[in-house]
Amino acid sequence: MRDDKIRRLLRVGEAKSGMEDDPRVAALSRLVRAMGDPPPDREAPVREVIARLGDNWSPLILKILSTGAYRHTTLKRVIGEVSAEAGISQRMLTLRLRALERDGFVAREFHDTVPPRVIYSLTPLGAGLADELDRLLGWVERNSKEIERARLAFRD
Amino acid sequence: MRDDKIRRLLRVGEAKSGMEDDPRVAALSRLVRAMGDPPPDREAPVREVIARLGDNWSPLILKILSTGAYRHTTLKRVIGEVSAEAGISQRMLTLRLRALERDGFVAREFHDTVPPRVIYSLTPLGAGLADELDRLLGWVERNSKEIERARLAFRD
DNA sequence: CTGTATCCAAAATGATACTG
DNA sequence: CAGTATCATTTTGGATACAG
């Protein structure tokens, strides 16, 4: 995207005297270039991975798996005890694990016995993602007082 | 939660000879304590903030606002040009901005003129969140090759 | 211009029953 | 035990019209 297009978006007049150099133009220009062309869509890793971290169950799954390897049902049982909500449905657990496996964060070890045994664990990549999650949680934790304050002040 | 309850969840027998000390028990115990009692529900800042980062529009809004202050419609126009999708609806933009404002990440400056002028900008707290977002994006970026490889390998 | 209200479509999640 | 299929419910998002 060219800078003059950005100027039009911002309704910034052409700089004739050099006084209208809106700093947002250069900053937006950098942002657009950093995002690439075309910009990442919903299926792009950047979007998907952050969406995973933001969904209801994946963060908890990552945290639990960072303590070790688990069978499917054991994982379900642990989530049911540890979460604030009613517990995860078998369907959702499978969906989430599949998504995490698909992106290389979770390894699935299948033993074709009766009954079958399937062991889920974090890959090194998944452990890295769990670390990122921890750092993010740490930031929120450190700022939760201020967030709570903002929430209370938000009675407008 | 007591450790023997965790052992039952994991179907770990009582250690009589000291050989069954499943390392997951201690790790899970630490995890449960770190999460607090009761564990954070959907409205808790930890959950909400990460959910914000994971939704469709908030990350982009944060990125754009980190380049400066914007009026409502200008922001909408910029998002429409910068995003991969069709653009954000006025309703969603308002909802997202409200949520970000509610948690103290975005400041709303209202001028009661005709037509009204409303300027949105990041608070220092919001700038901090934008920094966290950047670090997260950086991590995904650095690992996107490996993620793509996992995706291609995931034809099972 | 900023925002709300209403209605509608699409997506996420859960419940339940079933299979190998 | 692990997983799938189906259906119901909830949540989320968009389109449109309208108000101040």
Residues around strand D, C-beta < 7 Å: A 71-74, 90-91, 94, 97-98, 108, 110, 115-118; B 55-57, 85-86, 88-92, 95, 115-116
CA angle A47, B55, A61 (to 5 degrees): 75
Q: How much is the pLDDT for B103?
A: 97
Contact between A45 and B144 using a beta-carbon 8 Å cutoff:
yes
Whether residue B39 and residue A135 make contact (CB cut-off 8 A), yes or no, is no
| B62, closest residue in chain A (CA to CA) | A31
pLDDT for A6 equals: 93
Residues A31-81 have pLDDT tens digits of: 999 999 899 999 899 999 999 999 999 999 999 999 999 999 999 999 999
The answer to whether residues A91 and A99 touch, using CB atoms and an 8 Å cutoff, is: no
The pLDDT value recorded for residue A17 is: 53
**Confidence category of residue A107, pLDDT binned at 50, 70, 90:** very high
Confidence of residue B143 (pLDDT cuts 50, 70, 90): very high
Give the integer Cα–Cα distance in Å for A6 and A118. 53
In the predicted structure, residue B20 carries a pLDDT above the cut 70: no
B7 vs A14 pLDDT, higher one: B7
What domains can you pick out in chain B, each with its CATH number? 3-35 (no CATH), 48-155 (1.10.10.10)
Average confidence (pLDDT) over B108-125 = 96
